[in-house]
Structure 1
Amino acid sequence: MHQLLAVFMALPNACLLAWGWRRCGLALGAGGISSFALPPYGLWPLLAGTIPVLVWLLDGAVEHGSGRNKQRLLAGFSIGWWFGFGFFLAGFWWIGSAFLVDGDRFAWMMPFAVVAMPTGLALFPAIAMSVVARFWSEGSWRLLLLALALSTSDYIRGHILTGFPWNTFGYVFADTIVLAQTASLIGVYGLGLLALLVFSTPAVLADSIARGKKIVIMGAGALCLLGMGIFGAVRLFLVADPDVSAVDLRIVQPAVAQNEKWLPENRERIFQSYLDLSSQSWANNARSGVERLLIWPESAVPFLLTDSPDALVRIAGVLDGDMSFVTGAVRAEPSADGAVYFNSVYLFDPDGTVQDAYDKVHLVPFGEYLPLEDLLETLGLKALVNAPGTFQPGFRNRVLSLQSGTSFQPLICYEAIFPEIAGSTDTRADFLLNVTNDAWFGDSPGPYQHLAQAKMRSIEQGLPLVRAANTGVSAVFDAKGRKVAFLSIGERGALDVALPGKMLSTGFSKYGDFFFFAMTFLLLGLILAQRHNRHSRKN
């Protein structure tokens, strides 16, 4: 313990005196270590060491005095970019697995993708840190500025262009269920802002201020964590759990390897595997007299389901007039230029007829479609997903309803990482349904990160989340984000579980990111007031 404390106390001097490649290396290391604060590791106390490193690096890099704006901007950009590159490289290295599934065509792209993605995403913290450096000065208010800028960059990253809010800072609490409950009020972006505020406070240990002031600042961070813990405990243990709904679920996880799924010779074996798992005897916890719903994952079968009458007849036999059925599937529609394809969810009645369908709205760039398709295809690039053509997006997010009236909002794969998509429908669903295929990434951190982010949607919305994944993790979470049941990565089986009930609307489900914006403007006001007071004292 004493050795760990000694290392931590040596960090400020190392950061303050660093320059050139040493400064870049410290920022890179801080970013890489910070990624382990997120799922699947969940070592969030690490941020209490890495976020202060950013503060100390800026303290040592920023040159004070007039005419130094350019140097400040460049120094902040460099520190932010290297931090971001380390953070995203350590957090996203697993994306390379997708390029090995069809290695003959895509393996050559893997090293470029693994490096290019962190390179581009690092621009967000780089720009944020350059703004921070421009207005950097002595005083504890600079911690507010850093937290405000980085959380805002997370929000912008989640919305600009098509948006990519994967591994935002708010997910550091995703696996600490008590602290994660605060997301029901302020959402994941607000949670990220609180995390950055809390974990920046140890930076004052190196400040030349009174010991009492240091205690007050760090105590404020500790009180914030305590407040989050109290709020979470009240919501988890004192707010009554809703009654279990009158629906029993069967979630099928066939565990089909991605490189085997689309081989023609495997078509019948894969389809029969789904049927066998779907028709097996229900577990002992199954209830009589309740509605039953069978669920298959994203693009479950390797063919156009509605173009195969024989397959539909065999599915109807499994349903036996007793179960409704939901599956992910590729859907085709004729058009003047040939068929148009959608990544869809079908809802079948118990008699095996299609009742409704939802088409995925938010597609994965480079996976399900190519931006600037004509140009990139001339360079030899193609979308990764095996489909007859690139997918077209659906028109809107919507709720589907079973015959009994129980409703759900489909979130197809990638859509579950967007807080604004869940709950974006005109009517509030009874549960969220995330169908996905994470087989592209094997048993890497990727599927676990995806699971943690999907789970956060249940806390934000106060709705149970049901997840069907081809190779795992398939799971059910209640309306407070607690895991009710799951099937592990690579496990073949069927998960039988009662659908948890939904809670009353949460603050986030009613007001979205309002509280995050309110916190942001409050911090901005405090920062401006502090700067005004400081300039007034100088004059």
Structure 2
Amino acid sequence: MTATDMTTPPARLGRLSAGLAGLTGWRRLLAAAGFGGLATLALPPAGAVPLLLIAFPGLLWLLDGARTKRQAFAVGWFFGFGHHLLGLYWISAALFTDIERFWWALPLSAAGLPILLAMFTGFATLLVWVLRGRGMGQGLGKVVLFAASWALFEWLRGHVFTGFPWNLVGYGWTGFLPVLQGVSLIGIYGLSLLTVLVASLPAGLADAAVPRRRAWGALAAGLALFTALGAWGGLRLAGASDAAVPGVRLRLVQPAIDQRLKWAAGERVRNVQQQMELSVSSSGEPVTHVIWAETAVPLFLDQDARLRQALGSVTPPGGLLITGVPRMEAGPEGEPLYYNSLAAVDGSGAVTGRFDKFHLVPFGEYMPLRRWLPVGAIAGNGAEFSAGPGPVSLDLKGLPPVSPLICYEVIFPGAVLPAAQDGAGRPRWMLNLTNDAWYGNTAGPYQHFAIARTRAVEEGMPLVRVANTGISGVVDAHGRITAMLPLGHRGVVDAALPEALPAPTLYGRVGDGAFGLLLLTCFAVGLRARHRS
């Protein structure tokens, strides 16, 4: 191999990168959207992570051709639009449960959310373009700077305007548990940062300013990093305990009730009866606690003593029935306030524990733009829910302290447990009640389960998830699934409650602090790369 061979990019990659950089107009934007859609296939349920080695270099080569701030923003925006359009198509399925009423919202749900979320990707590429225009982020520094910018705006997407941290790039690793163990150290945002960094390194192979030996060396080092992370994760899993909480046997009830029938006036009592029958079906080992899904009881439990007694009749002796319910109370001026709640009922029919959902779904459970959209929330049948207090540690009879989470509250990293300064003891498990019947047999329920599973690894704490339909299951503190009911399946699964880790993970102690340090390091490296290879 000659010295020239070591300093010039491979011919095919060089032509490909030059061709993409040379695209203009709609061709450039269409290519960006295509690469964004390709990146979606790396996420659950497909999990084709190697496709990121094509998608992110493609985005960087398109960005190389941007000549103005507007073009730089547009490249990232169209990438993000294609990414979220394909990744979030399933949200529109919720409207078809009452399409005659919400037909007008179909284009907003299908394209409106991707349009907004793509803004974050657009600002990420714009930031890289502006900094490179000032002489920073040269050579391989461009890759590092891009990964840092992407991770920064991914973090912002998870926090601003109540946040929507769905389909973060790091979730692509939920199908490969050894690598996913990394979130116990740096969280899902940190794993996303490393994933984008390594996936973008092939872009350096086509950069004439980067010697080929250095470009190949960087790519090899990046792949070695994930190999080492996977090896460490494998060792961590090999040493994992299978210990379970003594004296606890859970029954998860998944009735698979069609969303169009769930709230129908003539079906509500029948739906409850079906779940009662499932709760008392025979099993090989006695259960101590029965758990139903989000709003599994579509009636106001506090106002119906007969209903409470009926639920108490299927409660295991000395145990509890834990279920999702709507709750209503009078507001300061006598107006009704509605809550999406969890209630624990004992054998006498008394409610011995309660939790109100605190992180509500915009448009689904409340209307943030009511001034311009004078309609009710979709999930509340026109009514709006009120928010309860933040994460809590709930003490329930016969169970370790639990952090209850309803629906998509489980998607927020670092916000699923009460803060230490709140005075509550650290919970020993998480309980996620949800209803994914809104979305049918789409990618949404699979993504939701994968995201919930990641919280267990981050916090080193088991997670029990009960859904009206798919996917219900028990995940231990290392993310291993110990019991599961698949999407659309009607039935029950009995399972032990895994023990939490004896001490919090690094992420459980410092939250996104380790990610923040990693992010700052990447920015520092990228910004220092000034006109030198």
Query: Which runs of structure 2 are paired with 1:364-513 in the superposition (5 Å)?
Result: 364-377=361-374, 381-387=375-381, 389-404=383-398, 406-425=400-419, 426-503=424-501, 504-513=503-512
Work out whether 1:297 is the aligned partner of 2:293: yes
Q: What is the aligned counterpart of 1:127 among 123, 131, 137? A: 123
- List per-residue Cα deviations over 1:496-536 (Å, max 9, x = no partner): 111111113101111100100000111122223323xx49x
Distance 1:145 1:317, change over 3 A: same
Q: In the alignment, is the contact (CA less than 8 A) between 2:184 and 2:505 conserved in 1?
A: yes
Identify the residue that residue 55 of structure 2 maps to in structure 1: 50
Q: Which residue type is aligned with residue 216 of structure 2?
A: I
SS class of match (2:226): helix
Q: 1:242 to 1:423 in 2, by over 3 A?
A: farther
Q: Find the residue that maps to 2:160 and give its secondary structure.
A: coil
The answer as to 2:219 corresponding to 1:218 is yes
Letter in 2 for 1:48: L
TM-score under structure 2 normalisation? 0.93
Indicate the larger mover: 147-156 or 300-309: 300-309
Deviates more, 1:148-157 or 1:315-324: 315-324
Aligned positions of 1:13-412 closer than 5 A? 13-62=18-67, 71=68, 73-136=69-132, 138-208=138-208, 209-282=210-283, 284=284, 286=285, 292-319=288-315, 321-335=317-331, 336-377=333-374, 381-387=375-381, 389-404=383-398, 406-412=400-406
Superposition TM-score, scaled by structure 1 size: 0.92
Whole-Å separation in 1 of the counterparts to 2:343 and 2:198 = 44
The one-letter code matched in structure 1 to 2:175 is D
Partners of 2:381 and 2:329 lie apart in 1 by 14
- Contact 1:76-1:126 at 8 Å conserved across structures: yes
Question: Counterpart of 1:265 in structure 2: which amino acid?
Answer: G
Whether the 8 Å CA contact 2:242–2:498 is kept in 1: the answer is no
Contact kept in structure 2, 1:320 and 1:351, CA below 8 Å: no
Aligned partner of residue 174 in structure 1, secondary structure: helix
CA shift at 1:152, angstroms?
A: 0.6
Judged with a 3 Å threshold, the aligned counterparts in structure 2 of structure 1 residues 395 and 132 are, in CA distance, closer, same or farther, namely same
3-state SS in 1 of match to 2:321: strand
Q: Distance in 1 between matches of 2:158 and 2:452?
A: 15
User: CA–CA distance in 1 between the matches of 2:40 and 2:258?
Assistant: 28
Displacement of 1:101 after TM fit? 0.4
2:476, 2:452 → 1: CA distance? 12
Write the distance in 1 (CA, Å) between the matches of 2:484 and 2:368.
Answer: 36
- Could you give the per-residue CA deviations for residues 27-86 of structure 1, whole angstroms, max 9, x where no partner exists? 010001100100011001100010001111122224xxxxxxxx1x21210100000000
What SS does the aligned partner of 2:362 have? coil
Q: Secondary structure at the match of 2:314?
A: helix
* Separation in 1, partners of 2:48, 2:81: 19
Distance 1:89 1:7, change over 3 A: farther
Amino acid in the other structure paired with 1:355: T
Cα displacement (A) at 1:364 = 0.3
2:37 partner letter:
G
- Separation in structure 1 between the aligned mates of residue 527 and residue 14 of structure 2, nearest angstrom: 31
Contact 1:8-1:49 within 8 A present in 2 as well: no
Cα offset, 1:7, TM superposition: 8.1
Residue 7 of structure 2 aligns with which residue? none
Q: 1-side partners of 2:338 and 2:61: how far apart?
A: 52
Counting matched residue pairs gives 513
How far did residue 239 of structure 1 move? 4.2
Q: Could you say if the C-alpha distance between residues 372 and 112 of structure 1 is closer, same or farther in structure 2, counting changes exceeding 3 Å?
A: closer
Cα displacement string for residues 354-402 of structure 1 (whole angstroms, at most 9, x for unaligned residues)? 112111110000000011324421xxx3210135721000122101122
How far apart, in 2, do the equivalents of 1:384 and 1:364 lie?
10
Query: Residues 240 and 296 from structure 1, CA distance in 2 versus in 1: closer, same or farther, beyond 3 angstroms?
Result: closer
Indicate the percent of aligned positions where both proteins have the same amino acid. Answer: 39
Computed over aligned residues only, the root mean square deviation of the Cα atoms, in angstroms, reads 1.9
Task: Tell me how far apart the structure 2 counterparts of residues 267 and 25 of structure 1 sit (CA, whole Å).
Answer: 48
Q: CA deviation at 1:323?
A: 2.3
Query: How far did residue 244 of structure 1 move?
Result: 4.6
Distance in 1 (alpha carbons) for counterparts of 2:122 and 2:406: 31
CA distance in 2, matches of 1:244, 1:6: 60
* Cα distance change, pair 470–141 in 1 and its aligned pair in 2 (3 A): same
Q: Verify the 8 A CA contact 1:129 1:149 in the aligned structure 2.
A: yes
- CA displacement, residues 272-319 of structure 1 (integer Å, 9 cap, x when unaligned): 10110011112x3x26xxx71110000112211221221111111111
Shift of 1:207: 1.6
SS at the partner of 1:448? helix
User: How far apart are the structure 1 equivalents of 2:246 and 2:11?
Assistant: 55
Q: What whole-Å deviation, never above 9, does each CA across 1:412-440 have from its counterpart, x for those lacking one? A: 00101001222234322111100001111
Question: What does residue 66 of structure 1 align with?
Answer: none
Q: Secondary structure at the match of 1:389?
A: coil
Cα distance change of structure 1 residues 222 and 320 upon mapping to structure 2, 3 Å threshold: closer
Structure 2: how far apart are the matches of 1:271 and 1:121?
38
Confirm or deny: 8 A CA contact 1:422 1:461 kept in the other structure: no
Greater RCO, 1 or 2 (C-alpha within 8 Å, sep 6+): 2
Shift of 1:182: 0.2
CA contact (8 A) 1:144 1:197 kept: yes
| Runs of 5+ consecutive residues of structure 2 not aligned to the other structure | 1-9
Cα shift at 1:107: 2.1
